[in-house]
Structure 1
Amino acid sequence: MKKLIYPAAAVALLFASAFTVIRSQDWKIAEGYSIKFDGGDPSGEFGGLKGAISFDANDLANSKFSTSIDVASINTGNGMKNTHAKSEKWFDAAKYPSITFTSSSIAKTASGYAATGTLDMHGVQKPVTIPFTFDGSTFKGSFEVNRMDYNVNTAEPAHGSQKFKVDITVPVSK
């Protein structure tokens, strides 16, 4: 009888593992996140971050980011610039209320990770790669966006910088 227990247990374990779904860790966006942009003038930050983050450093194939920010949450530190940035001339918050990023793959790099996916802004979808780090409780990334690629204020190409540096810090909890 004892001779049959071990093979039966091994078969049961193998059978159970065949139906086990590997899943990345789901994270909740915590308070204190920061999405800052700097193009010289203007510069500022966005609020209204929402999304789903599924990330496991040991299971990058099943990790994914699907996030959005509320365009109307822009804050340049100047009320008139905020109104201007929300207008049709710049972001057109009424027509394009959110900026989204959806990853298609996440890879390990020498300095952390890189999320490749689609950035959808002002009705234009473009592939981007966002390098980032993760310390177990906070994602940090930095990348550059050319506003002309997204048809943001194309009527005034010389107004301010065309390229904006975007710095993202997102604390998370389980």
Structure 2
Amino acid sequence: TWKASQSWTIIDNYEVKFTSEDPSGVFTSLKGDVVFHPEDLSSSYFNMTIDVKSINTGNGMQNQHAVSAEWMDAEKYPEIKFASRNIEATDKGYVAHGKLKMHGVEKDFDIPFKFEKNGSKGVFKGKFDVNRNDFNIGVPGKKASDVLHMEVTVPVSTK
């Protein structure tokens, strides 16, 4: 039987964590549109936005440095955006193929994820890497890590 894609609302307790050799922390502001049904992937999509100024490394000076013009430049580029083009099933879950835009650079980007549904609630979990040099963030070769390991957990409920 045909099933329409389900609209989901992001609920509290989401986590957008990043780790690397140097800075690690979280972004505390995530919003967006989530339309997903495992049996109707062609109509499923993600349109997500992170507020760059919501970064929290646990160190106030490091937070200020991260949003400064030298790094993320939050005044000029206040948001990180991901918009999926299509979603496909894999042997380990799903992959959202789309565009990631940050620091004024937009690139094709894939986000592998899993989805666990429990009645009217669910959780999306994804792990992926972002190379800051691909988005012209910071100076290449500086002591900061080039690759950020992202771990995203997004609890949702039906609208």
TM bucket by the smaller chain? over 0.9
Contact 2:3–2:39 (Cα < 8 Å) also in 1: no
Instruction: Write out the 4+ residue segments of structure 1 that deviate beyond 4 Å after TM superposition.
Output: none
Q: Which residue of 2 aligns with 1:170?
A: 154
Q: Please give the alpha-carbon distance, in whole angstroms, between the structure 2 residues aligned to 1:109 and 1:169.
A: 19
1:147 aligned onto 2:132: yes
Q: Please give the alpha-carbon distance, in whole angstroms, between the structure 1 residues aligned to 2:110 and 2:143.
A: 26
Give ranges in structure 1 of 5+ residues lacking alignment: 1-20
Q: Please give the alpha-carbon distance, in whole angstroms, between the structure 2 residues aligned to 1:28 and 1:159.
A: 39
TM-score relative to the length of structure 2: 0.93
Q: Which residue of 1 aligns with 2:101?
A: 120
**Superimposed CA distance per residue, residues 76-96 of structure 1 (whole angstroms, 9 cap, x where no aligned partner):** 000000000010011000000
1:23 Cα offset (Å)? 3.3
Q: Please give the alpha-carbon distance, in whole angstroms, between the structure 1 residues aligned to 2:141 and 2:81.
A: 23
Letter aligned with residue 30 of structure 1 = I
Letter aligned with residue 115 of structure 1 = A
Letter aligned with residue 158 of structure 1 = K
**Structure (1 or 2) with the larger CA radius of gyration:** 1
Give ranges in structure 2 of 5+ residues lacking alignment: none
121, 126, 144: which one pairs with 1:160? 144
Q: Which residue of 1 aligns with 2:86?
A: 105
Contact 1:138–1:171 (Cα < 8 Å) also in 2: yes
Contact 1:46–1:75 (Cα < 8 Å) also in 2: yes
1:138 aligned onto 2:119: no
Contact 1:148–1:157 (Cα < 8 Å) also in 2: no
1:22 Cα offset (Å)? 6.3
Q: Please give the alpha-carbon distance, in whole angstroms, between the structure 1 residues aligned to 2:100 and 2:15.
A: 18
Q: Please give the alpha-carbon distance, in whole angstroms, between the structure 1 residues aligned to 2:37 and 2:57.
A: 34
* Count of aligned positions: 153
**Superimposed CA distance per residue, residues 107-130 of structure 1 (whole angstroms, 9 cap, x where no aligned partner):** 000010000000001000011111
Which structure: greater strand fraction? 2
52, 60, 63: which one pairs with 1:71? 52
RMSD of aligned alpha carbons: 1.2
